[in-house]
Amino acid sequence: MTFHPQNRLEESLAKAAADAAHRPQFYRDLVESDLFIVEEGPQPEKSGRRVLTEGYQLKVRHMDWNGKSYIPVFTSLPRLQATIQHEVAYIALNALEFMKITQGANLLLNPGSDYGKELTKEEIASSIDGSIFRPSERYVAEKETKVMIGQPANYPRDLVDALSRLFKKTREVKRAYVAHFFNPEPTGVVSRQTDKLA
């Protein structure tokens, strides 16, 4: 199967699969894009845009994959059409709004396509609260500490290349350095903090 991107989200998905440096941009593109979802039940009398009224019950198709239940979602109508054998009702919703509606469910992006992705509950929760766009860990010195900083013995060239591509797109990063950090203190002089997901 040949994958021809239909929109910006699909271009971003393909880039993220080939280049880890593009993955943060993929999540940004995802939350700003529409997803196509198979809607269970009778087909609507006419196609086109409609407003979901308050109290509308959205019934979406689920599927089992690797022993887990997922909601299949698609990055474009052609991706959805490639997986079905007969006409179905579908709906297009903003990805972030759909994640809020179905929070707690796992989503499977483009099942059966050359480019797809499992979206876990944790990824979805962090996309909703925005923490996926922030560093997940930081280190804080609790007191004045002497540490050793030097060049890594095995230079991480692939990591540096990926980060260089990412930082070129990030206005907040003015300079970046690679260093090997060693804290000789055996006690908890440097504390590790992990941002919690809401």
User: Per CATH, the architecture of 8-129 is what?
Assistant: 3-Layer(aba) Sandwich (3.40)
Least confident of 96-100, 127-131, 145-149, 187-191: 187-191
Q: Quick one: pLDDT band at residue 11, thresholds 50, 70, 90?
A: very high
Q: Quickly count: other Cβ atoms within 10 Å of residue 142's Cβ.
A: 10
The DSSP code sequence of the chain is ------SHHHHHHHHHHH-GGGHHHHHHHHHHSEEEEEEPSSPPSS-S--PPPTT----B--EEETTEEEEEEESSHHHHHTT-SS--EEEEEEHHHHHHHTTTS-EEESTTSSS-EEE-HHHHHHHHHSGGGS-SEEEEESS----EEE--SS--HHHHHHHHHHHHT-TT-------EEE----SSSEEEEEPPP-
Mean pLDDT of 149-156: 83
- pLDDT (tens digit per residue) in 46-65: 666 666 677 777 788 899 98
**Higher pLDDT among residues 48 and 119, named by residue:** 119
Question: Residue 74 carries which side chain, given as an amino acid letter?
Answer: F
Report the pLDDT value the prediction gives residue 95, as an integer from 0 to 100: 96
Residue scoring higher pLDDT (192 or 114): 114
Choose between 78 and 140: higher pLDDT.
78
Q: The whole model's pTM is what?
A: 0.69
What is the pLDDT at residue 165? 80
Residues of the chain with CATH 3.40.1350.90: 8-129
Residue 94 scores a pLDDT above 50: yes
**Confidence tier at 196 by pLDDT (50, 70, 90):** very low
What is the mean pLDDT of the segment spanning 131-156?
76
- What confidence score (pLDDT) does residue 198 get? 29
**Residue (of 36, 187, 174) closest to 113 by Cα position:** 36
At 68-77, the pLDDT tens digits run: 999 999 999 9
State the average pLDDT for the chain. 82
Give the pLDDT confidence score for residue 34 in this predicted structure. 96
Half-sphere exposure of residue 37, counting CA atoms within 13 Å on the CB side? 25
